[in-house]
Amino acid sequence: MSSRFYFGGSDSGSDIDDNDAALPFPKPLDRSAFLAPDFDATAFLSGLSNRFQTLEDLQTELRELSQTLNKELVDLVNDNYQDFLSLGSTLSGGEDKIEEIRLGLLGFQRDVQAVRDKVEARRYEIAELLNQKKALKRETGVGRSLLEIAERLDLLEEKLKLARGRSAKSEKTDIQEIGNAQWREDWLESATNERADEYEVDDTGGFPPKLRRRIEEYLIVKHLSSRHSPRHPFILTQDSRLRNIQEVLLSDLEAAIKREPEIKMKQQLLQIRAAVEG
């Protein structure tokens, strides 16, 4: 003999059936939710949290929906296949529009090419003008450098009294012709005394300051001349002037070396003489 047990005066089986009937079953996914312009997959999935549906069931439902849409699309194309084929032939007047656009593009292309040719020609012209400007600037620099050399030579000759010496030389020739040897001797003695006074130093010896400055000026002129080609016409014409200045400076240096009692200072003077001779 068997007996049943009930809890709370009711059958347990009927309670389970009632609870299952009370559970909410998820509705099919609405297709319109996917048509929203601002559709966001994350927000869509977050809104499905109250569907009481497992993730596997949701994946299955989405997969079935995708397959259904693909099938409907294929059926739509098959049902309207002839309409798709005849769509191109039903368009009329398109050839004229295309030809009009093509001609417009060709004209625009020709205009662009004409502008490009003008720009290229202008660029070439500007490049030529820039090259001419560079050449003029370079020639101007050369002219200024040569002018500086000439001015320094004039100033150095004036300080060394070479211009006076050349004038005196011509006068000496005239005096020899008339036999006035006494005047020549007096003038030579006066010129010698002037040069001795110019480079005069005290009894302790040393490098005469004026001679040092003249040598520095001469070396500057040589350095400026070395920047140009030795075959330059202007440099060739100044070669004799440079040699005259060099001879005078070497003569004065030789006298200073003979007067110098200290060996160390004499060695320095010898080095300076080598620089002047170089």
Expressed in angstroms, the distance from the first to the final Cα of the chain is 144
pLDDT of residue 88: 63
Each residue's pLDDT tens digit, 14-28: 455 555 555 566 777
Q: Please tell me the distance from the alpha carbon of residue 214 to that of residue 198, in angstroms, as a whole number.
A: 11
- Is 76 among the domain residues? no
pLDDT of residue 204: 38
Which residues lie below 8 Å from residue 65, measured CB to CB, with a gap of 6+?
29, 31
Whose CA is closest to 48, among 20, 78, 27?
A: 27
With a cut of 50, list the residues of the chain below it in pLDDT.
1-14, 164-205
- Same domain as 134, residue 272: yes
- Same domain as 232, residue 149: yes
220 with 152: CB under 8 angstroms?
Answer: yes
pLDDT of residue 180: 42
Dihedrals phi, psi of 7, to nearest 5 degrees: -110, 125
**What domain range includes position 44?**
28-65
Q: Please tell me the distance from the alpha carbon of residue 114 to that of residue 120, in angstroms, as a whole number.
A: 10
- Is 16 among the domain residues? no
Q: Where are the beta strands (DSSP E) in 39-98?
A: none
- Same domain as 171, residue 45: no
Q: Please tell me the distance from the alpha carbon of residue 106 to that of residue 211, in angstroms, as a whole number.
A: 82
- Same domain as 166, residue 152: no
> The domain spanning residue 271 has which CATH number?
1.20.58
Taking the CA of residue 116 as centre, how many other CA atoms within 13 Å lie in the half-sphere pointing to its CB? Answer: 6
- Is 102 among the domain residues? no
pLDDT of residue 116: 95
- Same domain as 269, residue 184: no
- Same domain as 248, residue 216: yes
- Same domain as 32, residue 141: no
Number of C-beta neighbours around residue 165 at 10 A: 15
- Is 7 among the domain residues? no
Taking the CA of residue 203 as centre, how many other CA atoms within 13 Å lie in the half-sphere pointing to its CB? Answer: 0
- Is 148 among the domain residues? yes
pLDDT of residue 201: 45
Residue with tokens 């490049």: 127
- Same domain as 153, residue 210: yes
- Same domain as 186, residue 58: no
- Is 107 among the domain residues? no
How many domains, in total, are found in the chain? 3
Residue with tokens 């050349």: 166
Angle at 194 between CA 174 and CA 156, to 5 degrees: 85
pLDDT of residue 176: 43
- Same domain as 240, residue 170: no
